[in-house]
Structure 1
């Protein structure tokens, strides 16, 4: 029994001393509509994340030291939830078995951070492809968002979080304001 307690203590202490990966909070704000464009039209919401890596930022502090930063939240699920709220505010109903589908594909979502002695520079980009499909056809739209921020100081995780959330919010707004997508969904769903 004593050996078991010692082994458990060693495992616990080694887990506490292991380096923890940096993480940020990912909480995009959906662009909610003040008026419904449809009533009772439904679709099934799906999403995919086709990025090669799951980190949301790469921090280059020089000296060949590049650290990934991850999100506490799953990027694909968080974007899917934000889009669901956005479409629900327009009057659409989410269903698990509708013949109409909207698929959100996260193709890119990254903040590149470069630190130097005098400043930091952040470049954020997101590419999100939306496919609205019915039994009679589909529309595929690609939405891109970019942001750039420089600072005379090193970029903190809070700075990275702000830039990442802002660029995703920008893309969500583009989707909410896309008349071609809204018209297609309104007429074909």
Structure 2
């Protein structure tokens, strides 16, 4: 009898459990260099996520209900890995205890979605602050990427994820093409 009650309880709890929270696929693409800027210049890369909340999208369907959506991947680690690949493609070597350091601060990574059954409007924004520091000084730069997208019908998770990835990739491209940052690291690292 106990086994029957236990089996019935487990089946009931399984049926009552809430559905899995939807998540976006966050896959930023590094901008890889074809040629080395430097040979064996070492640096230490660190990152921190200072966003007030960890969701990457807010969906407002107009019914007094705003739903947050999180990323499947860790945002901080994904951005740090993409930047590491970028810097390594330029010839920089990442080590754990270099006197040269690059720190990345993720200040914002969010897509705001307003949608109804007939239309959607998405605003994406990503803000990264990068600090390149040596014993002789430091350079602090802020990179911001924004995008607006409108579409018919309600926005799917894939479309929201595409906007987030596109905006992040724009910021990574801006970092890769920043002459001032490249020159600073090339001359001092």
TM bin, normalised by shorter chain, reads: over 0.9
Deviation string 1:56-113 (CA, Å, 9 cap, x unpaired) is 0000001101111110000000000000000000000000111111000000000000
Counterpart of 1:13 in structure 2 is 14
* 1:118 Cα offset (Å): 2.7
Counterpart of 2:161 in structure 1 is 161
Q: Does 1:95 align with 2:95?
A: yes
Pairs within 5 Å for 1:58-137: 58-137=58-137
- Change in Cα spacing, 1:61 to 1:41, as seen in structure 2 (3 Å) is same
* 1:9 Cα offset (Å): 2.1
Task: Identify which range, 149-158 or 113-122, moves more after superposition.
Answer: 113-122
Counterpart of 1:55 in structure 2 is 55
What is the SS of the residue equivalent to 2:166? helix
What is the SS of the residue equivalent to 2:67? strand
Q: Any stretches of 5+ residues in structure 2 without a counterpart?
A: none
TM-score, length basis structure 2:
0.94
Q: Any stretches of 5+ residues in structure 1 without a counterpart?
A: none
Task: Identify which range, 152-161 or 4-13, moves more after superposition.
Answer: 4-13
- Change in Cα spacing, 1:6 to 1:35, as seen in structure 2 (3 Å) is same
Distance of 1:162 and 1:64 partners within structure 2: 25
Deviation string 1:135-184 (CA, Å, 9 cap, x unpaired) is 11100000000001000111000000100000000000000000000000
TM-score, length basis structure 1:
0.94
Aligned residues: 188
Contact map agreement 1:22 1:68 (CA 8 A) in 2: no
- Change in Cα spacing, 1:45 to 1:7, as seen in structure 2 (3 Å) is farther
What is the SS of the residue equivalent to 1:97? coil
Counterpart of 2:23 in structure 1 is 23
